[in-house]
Amino acid sequence: MGLSLCGERGHLGVPSWGACGIPPAYAGRGQNAQMCCMYNMHDSREHIVRNEQAIVDNLTEDNATRVLASRRTAEGEQLYLVYDQGSAGTSPPNKLLVKKFHNANPALQVDGNVMYRCNSEMFLLANISHKNIIKVVDHIQREDAIMLIYEYPVHGSLRSWLHQPMDAGRHLSWPDRRGIAIGVARGLRQLHHRCNKLFVHHNINSENILLDQNFKAVIASFGAAQVNMAGLGQPLPITDLRPGNFGYAAPEYGLGKNQLTEKVDIYSFGVLMLELVTGRMTNEATTDGHLANWAQNNFRTLMANQQEAFQNVVDRSIPDQARYREEMATVFMLGVDCTTVDPKERPSMRMALKRLRRCRWRAPFRGLLTGFLM
């Protein structure tokens, strides 16, 4: 048996790949690569979903969703949010995210291409099992489609909590946001540093960060993920990546395919940090452009004026702000560092996580900008 990507079997217990240790679908997205092995979708393991037909029957337009839509979502893929009414011992029913793989012509049956796309995503997630990364919990196979079933954390997306709270009386506190930031950083550290091969997510944004019952962050939407066989800091081969979400995509996406490394994830992570602190929409129109540009152009003014200027840009929905202002300023500056134009100047995800855990990389608030003004 080949090496598992993270040195252990995935949560589905699926076998690892051949000697290369990666699913070819993610190895630079080679169009002519062959699968090293095919997972038997009719295996004997116990299924989580107890009422498959009810799930299939609910894959309707009314339940279709753009949540977690990938930058590489193919024509023959669709996402749905449905309830599993038949889950044993579950009250209320589980809310599930279902990704349906089918031919571009839905009248055709599942073929090798559909199976290839489905298996690639399933194998990827099975072999990077981590508490801050979404899990495939089951699958359903029919003649015309294959459905992957994902956990859907009860609190939905981070974006909805920052910009359209589901509970008007409940806002994300700073400890909530700090925990979310650390959770996302841990998940990205797993992808960049703790697997046998380096993964690049390509699609980090607040819509693709889900929150569980304890507001723990779960990274989702791996349809654009890539393995970089060359390792850290080395360029990725990009053949079919669609334009990313405006405001989250690193500037090097527009510079050519030889400019992209794992630092594109660092940039998106930095935007997320700025979003957590300010509560601003990343693509909100300002004279400075999107959120990252605004932060790059204004951080000196915000930090040099001690607390007065900075407190005016902190998300007003955060309770007890004075208590956490220095921490928030630290995270804001991490966001600034992660969104520098030169990717080589951005910190690694290991370093970003260390700074979040310390939350005091620049001593008191009045010293935050000392290094930048010299």
The answer on 177 and 32 residing in a single domain is no
Q: Is residue 170 part of a domain?
A: yes
The answer on 75 and 178 residing in a single domain is no
pTM above 0.75, yes or no: yes
Average pLDDT over residues 272-287: 88
Q: Is residue 1 part of a domain?
A: no
The answer on 179 and 292 residing in a single domain is yes
Paired tokens of 197 = 């091969």
Given a cut of 50, whether residue 173 has pLDDT beyond it is yes
Domain that holds residue 205: 158-373
Q: Is residue 2 part of a domain?
A: no
CATH number at residue 340: 1.10.510.10
The answer on 271 and 222 residing in a single domain is yes
Q: What is the dihedral of CA 186, 188, 189, 191, to 10 degrees?
A: 130
pLDDT, tens digit, 9 for 90 and up, residues 108-135? 788 887 888 888 788 778 778 899 999 8
325 neighbors 267 (Cβ within 8 angstroms): no
pLDDT, tens digit, 9 for 90 and up, residues 307-357? 678 989 999 999 999 899 999 999 999 999 999 999 999 999 999 999 999
The answer on 169 and 60 residing in a single domain is no
Highest mean pLDDT among 275-284, 304-313, 352-361 belongs to 275-284
More confident site: 256 or 98 = 98
Of 151, 174, 203, the one marking the end of a domain is 151
Of 99, 124, 151, the one marking the end of a domain is 151
Q: What mean pLDDT value characterizes the chain?
A: 77
In single-letter form, the type of residue at position 373 comes to L
The answer on 221 and 191 residing in a single domain is yes
Of 151, 169, 200, the one marking the end of a domain is 151
Given a cut of 70, whether residue 44 has pLDDT beyond it is no
Given a cut of 70, whether residue 366 has pLDDT beyond it is no
In the chain, how many domains are there?
2
The answer on 162 and 128 residing in a single domain is no
